[in-house]
Structure 1
Amino acid sequence: MDQVRYPILTEKTIRLLEKNQYSFDVNVGSNKTEIKKWIELFFGVEIIAINSHRLPGKRGGMDRTSGRTDRYKRVIVRLKPGYSIPLFSDK
């Protein structure tokens, strides 16, 4: 559960849901095989492909101390037909 931070819901990722593709932010140190095993185990789905890319950290601070937020990795997971991941809980 530590590998995947949270699902991403933007206009683009909502369009990808129609193609049975889901987007998640994950830890930078994790690789595709770890993410695939974790998602298949946790959600009980089968994955066809995973695409990943690292996004740069954002600049922050307007005072004397300026810095950057942590970098993170985003993955797009394509599932086999007939599988889905519930993004919203029913509770």
Structure 2
Amino acid sequence: MDIQIKPIVTEKATAYSEKENCYTFAVSPEANKFQIKDIVEKLYNVRVERVNTASYAGKRKQRYTKSGLIRGQRPAFKKAYVTVAEGQKIDYYSNI
């Protein structure tokens, strides 16, 4: 199973990472905490202390156009809060 992971870089997530040494990622909904921990440790060479997750359902969206009402749904995703060991940091831009 291929698990996609991408960092969430918002004001709230950045402040949380500076204050608590906890980084936020958007991951595939099928991923579990052990898989998330392994991927983060391999990608960023850090030791992960713990992983907390939150699942988000896809939002329903609709808009009115000339051709009528268009309905759709945003995809569901899971948010992972990864706490790394004391003294270690994750640099999102090192892998670019």
The TM tier, using the shorter chain, reads 0.7 to 0.9
Report the count of equivalent residues.
Answer: 90
Q: Deviations over 1:65-89 (max 9, x none)?
A: 3121110000010000121111224
**TM-score, with structure 2 as normaliser:** 0.82
Question: Which residue does the alignment assign to 1:25?
Answer: 26
Q: Who wins on radius of gyration, i.e. which is larger?
A: 2
Task: Kindly indicate which of the two structures has a greater share of residues assigned to strand.
Answer: 2
- Cα distance between partner residues in 2 of 1:65 and 1:4: 29
Q: Which amino acid letter does the alignment assign opposite residue 53 of structure 1? A: A
Which residue type is aligned with residue 46 of structure 1?
R
TM-score between the two structures when normalised by the length of structure 1: 0.86
Give 2:48's aligned amino acid.
I
CA deviation after TM superposition for structure 1 residue 56, in Å: 2.0
Contact 1:4–1:24 (CA under 8 A) maintained in structure 2? no
Structure having the higher helix fraction is 2
Alignment partners' CA distance in 1, 2:26 and 2:41? 16
Instruction: List aligned pairs for 1:1-91, cutoff 5 A.
Output: 2-18=2-18, 19-63=20-64, 64-89=69-94
Change (3 A) 1:81 1:16: same
> What's the CA shift for 1:59?
1.9
